[in-house]
A = this chain, B = another copy of it.
Amino acid sequence: VTICKRVITIAALWPALCLLAGPVLAAKESGAKSEPAVSQATQTCLDCHVVATPGIVADWKKSRMASRTPEMGLKAPELERRITAKREDIPQDMRQVVVGCAECHTQRAKKHPGSFDHEGFRVHTVVSPQDCATCHPGERGEYSQNLMAHARGNLANNPVYMDLADHVNGVQKVSGGKVVYEKPTAMDQAESCFYCHGTEVKANGTRTVTNPDLGEVTVAKLSGWPNRGVGRKNPDGSLGSCTPCHTRHQFAIQAARNPATCAECHKGPDVPAYKVYKVSKHGNLFQALSKDWDLKALPWTVGKDFNAPSCAACHISLLVTADGAVLAKRTHRMNDRLWRRLIGLIYSHPHPKDPDTSKIKNADGMRLATTLDGKPASQYLIGEKEQASRRATMAKVCLGCHSDQWVDGQFQRLKASIKSADAMVRASTREMQEIWRAGLAVGPGKGSPFDEYIEQLWIEQWLFYANSVRLASAMIGADMGVFENGRWNMAKNVQQMRDWRKARQGRAK
């Protein structure tokens, strides 16, 4: 057992530590079947970190990864299997040990620019999807095709969206009656939009920080860190992060399946999915009954393990019926079950073909999937056939509990809600265009369309209200689509914009 040199203060605790570490070590040494082995390297990490960061060590010990080796995982029947790697693709020295500190934080160190020397190991802080892909290449492959893996670039590489972000996060300076927007700092962007979209984490050597117990500690010098955004760009060049949903270091599947996990990014007025879910019958039952459900079961049996879907059930999970038939295949490319984009845009449109949406250009040359008048940039979007196929995939999930009639009826409602929401965005955009034309605000071509008060009203029409209305219908939680940033607000907003214009045009209609 290596004793960390710095941890002088823990010397006194050594006997207690040994007691704690005892069973694990014993198991490792005897190779007892009931306690799978911990690698020597991971054990060395644990010896110090049980003192240095006791919370995450204890958290990890509760994880499935801490008590199962890849070899054990590979033996599970197909529907229960969590590992998508082939046996031969998992490094030999990893197969017979549990997945611990060293397996994730040192194994691919040479491929991580941010790696640094730490207590005799070459360690990297930022575990990337490429690391997880050692055992889970299927999920990693799917997720890389998921819009969310591209969430950072889809914002950072799109000048239209960045213009908006800059006018949300840039500090305004008022002097002499003028207001000037400053460029937002990297810190402010990281703590705002890119908290969820993901930062670009870059490694620049090492730096020293002061630990209250251990004194000076050498760590990697990382910019854009900490961050757990879904589209994070990692030092190894990979996109995305698995831990926003599969939270380190317990990686509990019941947490990934809990709507509160999705809520971390999908609750605000721009993406009120969680709020809609909560007032849907699905969310109602989740809150009222889920303490008696089995959120850990694999496969996940409709009606038996749970009686109303969480976000994961409809969008990601492998679902089976009580007789073992597959109702839906697991997918980490969530667009597999989504045919139309409802949020994060001006008008709703068919899903983009490519998860990198920064390439899209509309007929007016703007990097948007529709023009300001609502015309879709169809060459970038999936066609009717693909839409129908995805709709049918989602319908199968609905039909697990609902009749054909019911599902068909609700899908018609959704279509109608999308149409009305888009029409109300059109109304507000026409007002905005009239205002730009009249010179009452400075619009696209001449300045930012996102920096004046009247423009901010227009933004809320599509960024907040139309999203709520579409999601309220898609997820059947009407209470969040009427008076809570919904139809009421769409109606009022058009009137407010008109009122604003009339006041400035001498009330001449």
Q: How far is the CB of A70 from chain B (nearest CB, A)?
A: 24
What residues of chain B lie closer than 8 Å to A174, measured between beta carbons?
A: 426-428, 430-431, 434, 494, 498
> Which stretch of A71-79, A257-265, A334-342, A349-357 is in the interface?
A257-265
A345 within 8 A of B: no
Using a CB-CB cutoff of 8 Å, which residues 451-509 of chain A contact chain B?
451-454, 456, 463-464, 472-473, 477-484, 486-488, 491-492, 494-496, 498-499, 501, 503-504, 507, 509
What residues of chain B lie closer than 8 Å to A53, measured between beta carbons?
A: 399-403
What residues of chain B lie closer than 8 Å to A59, measured between beta carbons?
A: 303, 307, 401
What residues of chain B lie closer than 8 Å to A491, measured between beta carbons?
A: 167-170, 172, 456
Kindly list the 6 A-B residue pairs having the minimum CB-CB distance in the complex, ordered from nearest.
A58-B303, A55-B401, A195-B478, A260-B287, A187-B416, A258-B288
What residues of chain B lie closer than 8 Å to A473, measured between beta carbons?
A: 191
A202 within 8 A of B: no
CA distance A321 to B52 in the complex (A): 10
What residues of chain B lie closer than 8 Å to A281, measured between beta carbons?
A: 228, 247, 264
A324 within 8 A of B: yes
CA distance A51 to B321 in the complex (A): 8
Contacts A55-B303, A125-B405, A171-B420 given; indicate if A482 touches B193 (C-beta within 8 A). yes
> Which stretch of A26-34, A87-95, A407-415 is in the interface?
A407-415
- Does B211 lie within 8 Å of A399, measured CB to CB? yes
Q: How far is the CB of A401 from chain B (nearest CB, A)?
A: 3
Chain A at the B interface: SS class:
helix
Using a CB-CB cutoff of 8 Å, which residues 301-339 of chain A contact chain B?
301-304, 307, 321-325, 327
A194 (CB) vs chain B CBs: closest residue = B478
A428 (CB) vs chain B CBs: closest residue = B174
- Does A172 lie within 8 Å of B209, measured CB to CB? no
- Does B55 lie within 8 Å of A403, measured CB to CB? no
A133 within 8 A of B: no
Q: How far is the CB of A205 from chain B (nearest CB, A)?
A: 13
A–B Cβ pairs within 8 angstroms, 5 of them: A188-B420, A191-B413, A211-B399, A270-B482, A452-B495
A303 (CB) vs chain B CBs: closest residue = B58
- Does A171 lie within 8 Å of B424, measured CB to CB? yes
Using a CB-CB cutoff of 8 Å, which residues 38-85 of chain A contact chain B?
50-59, 61-62
A269 within 8 A of B: yes
CA distance A265 to B427 in the complex (A): 29
Q: How far is the CB of A259 from chain B (nearest CB, A)?
A: 9
| Given A54-B322, A58-B301, 11 more pairs with CB closer than 8 A | A17-B323, A53-B400, A57-B322, A125-B403, A167-B491, A222-B409, A250-B289, A263-B279, A452-B495, A464-B483, A504-B507
- Does B226 lie within 8 Å of A409, measured CB to CB? yes
A2 within 8 A of B: no
- Does B179 lie within 8 Å of A494, measured CB to CB? yes
- Does B496 lie within 8 Å of A172, measured CB to CB? no
Q: How far is the CB of A490 from chain B (nearest CB, A)?
A: 8
- Does A323 lie within 8 Å of B219, measured CB to CB? no
A417 within 8 A of B: yes
Instruction: Please tell me which one of the listed residues B54, B211, B321 contacts residue A323 in the complex, with CB atoms under 8 A apart.
Output: B54
What residues of chain B lie closer than 8 Å to A209, measured between beta carbons?
A: 404-405, 408
A267 within 8 A of B: yes
Tallying the copies of this chain within the complex gives 3
A161 within 8 A of B: no
For chain A, which range describes its interface: under 10, 10 to 19, 20 to 34, or 35 or more residues?
35 or more
A376 within 8 A of B: no
Contacts A252-B289, A323-B54 given; indicate if A264 touches B284 (C-beta within 8 A). yes
- Does A289 lie within 8 Å of B255, measured CB to CB? yes
Q: How far is the CB of A406 from chain B (nearest CB, A)?
A: 5
- Does A168 lie within 8 Å of B488, measured CB to CB? yes
Encode contact with B along A231-267: 1 for CB under 8 Å, 0 otherwise.
0000000000000000100101011001011011111
A122 within 8 A of B: no
Contacts A226-B406, A264-B280, A491-B167 given; indicate if A172 touches B427 (C-beta within 8 A). yes
A16 within 8 A of B: yes
CA distance A17 to B322 in the complex (A): 9
A190 within 8 A of B: yes
Which of A222, A285, A303, A504 has its CB near the most chain B CB atoms (within 10 A)? A303
Instruction: Please tell me which one of the listed residues B167, B250, B287 contacts residue A307 in the complex, with CB atoms under 8 A apart.
Output: B250
A415 (CB) vs chain B CBs: closest residue = B187
CA distance A12 to B180 in the complex (A): 71
A395 within 8 A of B: yes
A446 within 8 A of B: no
- Does B172 lie within 8 Å of A494, measured CB to CB? yes
